[in-house]
Amino acid sequence: MTTPAYEVIVECPNCGIEFHDWVRNSINLSLGETWTDDDIEEAFSVTCPECGHRESTGGLIVEMPTRL
Ligand SMILES: [Zn+2]
């Protein structure tokens, strides 16, 4: 299933400031949800508002086969 977004506090490895962002643990592409590559990248990463550094959170993309 697609997990709801949750808030995380991150210390930017580039400039060292702390900021919060929203990430997901997993998304499920089999439920008819439409995700672009940019959406997926955004869902699994946080972006520093100060320097623009993007850090992946290493989420999972779950793609379940449809069972009939
Ligand atoms: Zn930064």
| pLDDT tens digit sequence for 2-43 | 778 888 888 888 999 998 888 888 888 777 778 888 888 888
Euclidean distance between CA atoms 47 and 56, whole angstroms: 9
Cα-to-centroid distance, 55 and ligand 1 (Å): 10
Burial 24-47 (b: 16+ CB within 10 A, else e): bbebbeeeeeeeeeeeeebbbebe
Q: What are the domain boundaries of the chain? A: 6-62
pTM summary value: 0.63
State the DSSP H helix or E strand holding residue 41, giving kind and residue range, or none if neither. helix 37-43
Cα-to-centroid distance, 13 and ligand 1 (Å): 7
